[in-house]
Structure 1
Amino acid sequence: MTSLAKLLVLVSLFSQFACSENDETVDLYALLQVEVLTTELSSPWGMVQLPDGALLITEKTGSARLWSRGRLSHPISRTPEAYVAGQGGLLDVVLHPEYEKNGWIYLSYAYGDRRKNATRLVRTRLSGLQFSTPEVLFTATRKNTAAHFGGRMTFLPDRTLLLTVGDGYSFKDQAQELSSTLGKIIRLNGDGSIPDDNPFVALESAKPEIYSLGHRNPQGIYFDPERKVVFSNEHGPKGGDEINIIESGKNYGWPKITYGVDYSGEVITPHSALPGLEQPLVDWTPSIAPSSIIVYYGQQFPEFRGHLLSTTLKYRELRLTQLSGTKVVNEVSLLTEWNERFRDLLVGSEGEIYLLTDSGKLMKVTRR
């Protein structure tokens, strides 16, 4: 398909949405216009917008490409070599908050081989279509499964970086062990060093990178600049997908508590709540398979302002979660008629929404 085989479609969706400001009912059907920019990506996983408006896109199959001026570039050279198997591969990409000064780009990916692999974080710079030699900043506890890598990233206002790390699927008990980084969200300085105020730095037996624990496979994380909180969504087992507000040192319970069960139907734990363990802001049972999350503050859709948007794989939708403060008041399913596994999203510089699908599409959503 040519680089600009575009498809303009009015979106059919759950069409009624109450705006929080005046409780006026808005017909979303009339708002959203979707443009398919390309179908030529290979299992795209993450993206970020560069200052010139180009999109830097990762492909789980191991390549990174630029979408610029209506064209998809050749693969960028010197992309770190990823372990591509199962859920593993090249994962997320973010820019340093001072990117225009220092040029740092952060990549997460699955590193290793079938016998021993891990979530790894590197930083690099981009010149044309070539990365500089990647600098390794962090490698998670190693495992021997090709699943539950986590891999999403977000920067905090103090220029520290949060990275999600999954539990490795077969190692769920390590999500509760401070001697392992599996099933954790970790926090690092931009150069990979450990922040002095991380919650477990004084505990000799703990990995000092750990920021929070008790996670299964978080694939969405986002710092909300207005509420000053971190939202994360994560995959539960069969049921028990979650949105959480992430705080330093908190334990989010997996696998001691969950609202889900094993894929076989067996009970993982009899508990959905225990003292000292955090409850999710949202429990999605049955599972929707959330894969990224943002809070919308763009100009094009004031109806979405301050609300959460999550891409989903199983439910094949963009899920809008309406908030009042940090309380959930409504949810709406968007873009279901596309029947796509939506992998990632970002809000562009003009408030437009970009979406990646597992089928290889880059989509752009604007106001009609």
Structure 2
Amino acid sequence: MPVSFPALPRALALAGLLAATAPGAVAWAQAAETRSLRTERGELRVETIARGVEHPWGLAFLAGDRFLVTERNAGRLRIGTRGGGLSRPVEGVPEVYRYEGPTDRSQGGLFDVALHPQFEENRLVYLSYSAWTEEGGGTAVARGRLVGEDGDQPRLEEVRRIFMMNNPDGSGLHFGGRMAFDPRDNTLLLSIGDRRNMNRSQRPADHAGSIIRMKDDGSPAEGNPFLGRDGHDPHVFAIGLRNPQGMAFDPETRMLWLNDHGPQAGDEIHRIEAGKNYGWPYLTGGKDYSGAPVGVGTEREGMEQAVHIFGRTVAPSGLAVYRGEMFPEWRGQTLHGGLAARALVRTRLEDGRVVEEEWMLRDLDRRIRDVRVHRDGSVWLLTEHSDGEVLRLTPAGGRR
């Protein structure tokens, strides 16, 4: 069972830290490290909960001071504690597919982790990941029952893949992979990227470039906009996206918000609604990385404009709508992890439009992969590196 670091004598703590270098060993964070960073609205206290997490991608809070965190490249799931403990890798996690080729760079691995809304009763954990079939690779979702979480070796039991995207291929890019449970009906939504084939995003029978909505067993959810329509897939909820990796419901309004990787300087924020087409590759404010134009601009009949197009490259991943109490000045605002930006990007909206944008924490110089709001109102981040961190943000002195 992970042990809180501060409870250990210093010598024992150092021994535990050294032991963590062995594969599969229990890892320990160093003594709690905190620093204060200034923002436009005052200072933030940044606390390092854990470090040495290999390319973390997704985070979910368990009861008490514990959490689940995924390691993308290694395909591992771990249980962490507020005191800095990281469990041995959870057993039973499905094998992930990672394409490695001479002209391609794999973005595959283990992506997001989500808890069933009735997790305390059924212990069901959902994982999104890149999976392989005889036809090729693509984005998948598996679920399993978490047991032994208080012991030395936690595991998932009754694991099964409940969803696999159609038309899998050999690409190692643009998997999407973010999940969110709808608080209104407990359906599960999943983002899928265009698999680096932009034309697939405009095909309503193709899962690529879409938002998928399913029941908790993976079957198409009732009320999906394309159920029973010829030439459409019953899982599809919305289309026209490039590589969305941030998605969250506003806890108060229940609106679904999403960020999407655009081409160069074309990253977007969307409010997602059933049956809508969000325009990729026709609507975009960015350009191809070669400098060539993409699409036809930002307006086209029958397609939804982005709520906001970032004027410079963010490479957004992870999204939260803040409704906590620790930062009352952030209430109702969206927080986005920035990979290329190496920032936490805060946006304030009025009448459905972004009227304020701030790039925070740039002094950390870390790629931010995921953003979550804890039940106590603190904001937790994952930094996407081989020695990735779990960070916790709280107010510091001098806040305005």
TM-score range, shorter chain: over 0.9
CA distance in 2, matches of 1:284, 1:113: 36
Shift of 1:354: 1.1
Q: What does 1:301-312 correspond to in 2, within 5 Å?
A: 301-312=327-338
Greater shift after overlay, 299-308 or 335-344?
Answer: 299-308
CA distance in 2, matches of 1:167, 1:259: 18
| Aligned partner letter, 1:78 | G
Shift of 1:273: 1.3
> Is 1:70 aligned with 2:84?
yes
Asked if structure 2 preserves the Cα contact closer than 8 Å seen for 1:90 and 1:108, the reply is yes
Shift of 1:196: 2.5
> Is 1:132 aligned with 2:157?
yes
Shift of 1:55: 0.8
Asked if structure 2 preserves the Cα contact closer than 8 Å seen for 1:194 and 1:208, the reply is yes
| Aligned partner letter, 2:239 | L
Asked if structure 1 preserves the Cα contact closer than 8 Å seen for 2:187 and 2:213, the reply is yes
> Is 1:165 aligned with 2:192?
yes
CA distance in 2, matches of 1:139, 1:334: 36
For residues 271 and 367 of structure 1, do their structure 2 counterparts lie closer, same or farther at Cα, with a shift above 3 Å needed? Answer: closer
Q: CA-to-partner distance for each residue in 1:97-118, whole Å, 9 max, x for gaps?
A: 1111221111100011898200
> Is 1:36 aligned with 2:48?
yes
Structure 2 equivalent of residue 193 of structure 1: 219
Aligned residues: 353
Q: What does 1:203-352 correspond to in 2, within 5 Å?
A: 203-352=229-378
| Aligned partner letter, 2:194 | D
Secondary structure of 2:52's counterpart equals: coil
Aligned-pair Cα RMSD in Å: 1.5
Asked if structure 1 preserves the Cα contact closer than 8 Å seen for 2:308 and 2:353, the reply is no
Asked if structure 1 preserves the Cα contact closer than 8 Å seen for 2:96 and 2:109, the reply is yes
Calculate percent identity across the aligned residue pairs. Answer: 38
> Is 1:177 aligned with 2:203?
yes
TM-score, normalised relative to structure 2:
0.85
Secondary structure of 1:117's counterpart equals: strand
CA distance in 1, matches of 2:187, 2:133: 29
Q: CA-to-partner distance for each residue in 1:40-65, whole Å, 9 max, x for gaps?
A: 10000001001233110001020010
For residues 49 and 324 of structure 1, do their structure 2 counterparts lie closer, same or farther at Cα, with a shift above 3 Å needed? Answer: same
Asked if structure 2 preserves the Cα contact closer than 8 Å seen for 1:211 and 1:248, the reply is yes
| Aligned partner letter, 1:137 | I
CA distance in 1, matches of 2:336, 2:213: 22
Shift of 1:255: 0.7
CA distance in 1, matches of 2:315, 2:249: 21
Greater shift after overlay, 286-295 or 114-123?
Answer: 114-123
Gaps of 5+ in 2: 1-16, 18-27, 100-105, 149-153
Structure 2 equivalent of residue 106 of structure 1: 126
> Is 1:50 aligned with 2:62?
yes
Structure 2 equivalent of residue 18 of structure 1: none
Secondary structure of 1:271's counterpart equals: coil
Q: CA-to-partner distance for each residue in 1:161-187, whole Å, 9 max, x for gaps?
A: 110000001x21010011210000000
Asked if structure 1 preserves the Cα contact closer than 8 Å seen for 2:283 and 2:305, the reply is no
Structure 1 equivalent of residue 72 of structure 2: 60
CA distance in 1, matches of 2:147, 2:254: 34
CA distance in 2, matches of 1:338, 1:285: 22
Paired residue for 2:107, among 80, 83, 87? 87
TM-score, normalised relative to structure 1:
0.92
Secondary structure of 2:120's counterpart equals: helix
Shift of 1:70: 2.7
